[in-house]
Amino acid sequence: MNVKRPIGVFDSGYGGLTVLKEIVQKLPDYDYLYLGDNARAPYGPRSFETVYRYTWQCVEWFFKQGCPLVILACNTASAKALRSIQQRDLPSKYPDKRVLGVIRPTTELIGNFSKTKSVGILATNGTVISQSYPIEIAHHFPEIKVYQEACPMWVPLVENNEYDGEGADYFIKKNIANLLKYSSEIDTVLLACTHYPLLKNKLKNFLPESIQLISQGEIVADGTKNYLLRHPEMEKALSKNGQRDFYTTDSAKDFDSHALVFYGKEIASVHVDLDE
């Protein structure tokens, strides 16, 4: 019998599927277990304490399923929960497990994209308030100026299948205009929320062509690949049967009907009740 020790991939909802899609493409042999906490999404407007509590509950669920490594494919969870998990919870409770986020691999590279040294960040309220991007970018690229705009309506638009509708135009136009007002120097805009790649086509209509739009999927996939190269003990601990399993804390039927646009493939998910 094959022992399953998959890579866990977590998001508040569907957004992390855009990251999983890229990771699976780069690293197809591993087993993956995805969990969307759809019943409690969006995380963006929630407090630090609540995002931490929800995220840690999900991370412990992954550990119980046998995942040695969990990737928080959610900027809000990475911004508000990852530090406590890495610095406090893992060393005392799960010293052999690892949890990674999406902010670190992104901020390690983002400065290389900008010629004008001015980067715009589009993210949830929670990610913006945490200041994680300006702090982390300053660490790797002190010369880069960072401008942030919170887009609180974008995740609800995407989660409710309205990413292609006219309603989305209003909010996208407004948030892009706000961001670009901060500086005419911005030449790179980062989609710092894993839900936002679904809005890419629309975003292009409101951004000048000279501005490049960066999403995180590929960056995080490369980061994961490098991490496994640098940590052979973790690489060996992972099972490699090419299996993908999907779980949601809300309706599996809803999850499956939404997932195609995020993941690019039909999936069959399973409902999980974390309190059981």
Does residue 43 touch ligand DGL according to CB under 6 A? yes
Would you call 193 a catalytic residue per the annotation? yes
Does residue 11 touch ligand DGL according to CB under 6 A? yes
Does residue 106 touch ligand DGL according to CB under 6 A? no
Number of H helices, E strands in the chain: 14, 10
Does residue 15 touch ligand DGL according to CB under 6 A? yes
Would you call 58 a catalytic residue per the annotation? no
Backbone angles phi, psi at 139, to 5 degrees: -65, -45
* Residue with smaller CB distance to ligand DGL, 48 or 94: 48
**Cα–Cα distance, 243 to 266 (Å, whole number):** 14
Tell me which residue of 11, 1, 6, 20 sits closest to 65, measured CA to CA.
6
* Residue with smaller CB distance to ligand DGL, 68 or 105: 105
**Cα–Cα distance, 57 to 55 (Å, whole number):** 5
Size of the site for ligand DGL (CB under 6 A): 17
Terminal Cα-to-Cα distance of the chain (whole angstroms):
27
Does residue 193 touch ligand DGL according to CB under 6 A? yes
With CB under 6 A as the contact rule, the residue among 7, 41, 58, 103 that binds ligand DGL is: 41
Q: CB of 63 within 8 A of CB of 97? A: yes
Does residue 127 touch ligand DGL according to CB under 6 A? yes
Binding site for ligand DGL (CB under 6 A): 11-13, 15, 41-44, 74-76, 124, 127, 155, 193-195
